[in-house]
Amino acid sequence: MANVPKHAGRETRQKWGWWYVNRFLFWRRLSQFSILAMFLSGPYFGVWILKGNYSGSLLFDTIPLSDPLITAESLATGHLPDVLTLIGAAIIVLCYAVLGGKVFCGWVCPLNVVTDTAAWLRRKLGIRQTAKLSRGLRYGILAMILVGSATSGMLLWEWINPVAALGRAFVFGFGATTWLIIVIFLFDLLIVEHGWCGHLCPIGAMYGLIGAKSLIRVKVIERTKCDHCMDCYNVCPEPQVLRSPLHGKKDESLLVLSKDCISCGRCIDVCAEKVFKFSTRFDHSGE
C-alpha cells in the first residue's frame, strides 16, 4: 500500500534509524555548503580556494573551472573565449561526463537547497495539485538560449541565471537577487512540483546531456523486494526515471540510465526494503 507523501521515509527511519534515511542527503548538503564555503573563504577570510563564481572560477588560483553553458553561449555568439575558459569548460565536461548524470544538480548547485526545501514543504503541507509542464521543456529552453545568443550576440542566460545570482548574493548581499530566488521557491511550492529543476532549468538540461553516458548510476538490486510504498517516487525530484528499472519488463535494465537522474541518492535513503544502491552503468548483475 502506498504511503502518504508527507510520511516518506518514516518507515525507513523506524526500521533502520535516522542516519540511514538521511545519509546521502547529509553528504549532499555537506558537499554543497563546502563548495559555497570555498567561494566565500576568499572574500571573508582572505584564503582563496575557489576564486570566482559558479559561472567561472579558479581552484587554488591555478585550475580553471568554467560553466559549460556560458561557454557554449560565448561560442554561439561567435566570440571565442580565452584559453583558460575553454580549458575550464573541458575539465568540467570531462569530469561530469565520466562521473555521473547531473551530479552538479544534486551535489553542487546551491539552488538545489531552495528547491528541495520547497519540495519538502509541499509534502508536509499535503500540496498535491500541480500544473502540467513537459519535462522536455528545459531542453527547448536550452536550445532557445543558444539560438538567442547566436542571433543577438549576447549571453542571454547570464541576465537571469539564478545559480550564479545566488552565489554572488552570499558575497555581495541578496538585494535585487532575492526576488528571483523567492519566485523560484514559490513556483516549486505552489505551482509545479519540482518545477524549476525538473522542468525549466537549462543548466540541468546541459548537464543531463553531458552526463548521459556517465559511469555512476543508481541501481535496483531486486525488483521483488519493492513493496510499492511509493516513498522513492515521493522524494525523487525526477520520479519518472524510476519506472523502467523498478517496474519495467524482465528484459529492461535494472539501472537508472535516464539522463535526467541527478544521482541524489534519496531513493536509496528512504527505501525501507533496501531496493536501491549506487553502482556503475556496467553492473548488470541480477538481470
Q: Which amino acid is at 91?
A: I
Please, what is the average pLDDT of the chain? 92
For 32, 41, 256, the CA distances from 204, given in Å and listed in that order, are: 16, 26, 17
Cα distance between the two ends of the chain: 26
Alpha-helical runs (H) found in the chain: 10-16, 18-45, 68-76, 83-99, 103-107, 111-125, 137-152, 162-172, 177-186, 195, 202-210, 231-235, 243-247, 266-270
**Distance of alpha carbon 200 from alpha carbon 89, whole angstroms:** 22
**Distance of alpha carbon 9 from alpha carbon 18, whole angstroms:** 9
**What pTM did the predictor assign?**
0.92
DSSP secondary-structure letter at 224?
Answer: G
**Distance of alpha carbon 71 from alpha carbon 69, whole angstroms:** 5
**Distance of alpha carbon 96 from alpha carbon 85, whole angstroms:** 17
Q: Given a cut of 90, is residue 74 above it in pLDDT? A: yes
Angle value at C-alpha 185, between 267 and 35, nearest 5 degrees = 65
**Residue 202: predicted pLDDT:** 96
Q: Given a cut of 70, is residue 176 above it in pLDDT? A: no
226 confidence band (pLDDT: 50, 70, 90): very high
pLDDT digits (tens, 9 = 90+) for 95-132: 999 987 699 999 999 999 999 999 999 999 999 889 99
Q: What is the CA radius of gyration of the chain?
A: 19
DSSP letters, 158-218, are GGT-HHHHHHHHHHH--TTHHHHHHHHHHIIIIISTTHIIIII-HHHHHHHHHTTT-SEEE
Which grid coordinates belong to 62?
591555478
In which element (H, E) is residue 52 found?
strand 50-53
Considering only CA atoms, which of 247, 146, 233, 245 is closest in space to residue 198? 233
Percent of residues, the chain, with pLDDT higher than 90: 78
Give residues with Cβ within 8 angstroms of 225, minimum separation 6.
Answer: 273, 274, 275
For 223, 241, 253, the CA distances from 249, given in Å and listed in that order, are: 10, 15, 9
Q: Given a cut of 90, is residue 168 above it in pLDDT? A: no
Q: Given a cut of 90, is residue 285 above it in pLDDT? A: no
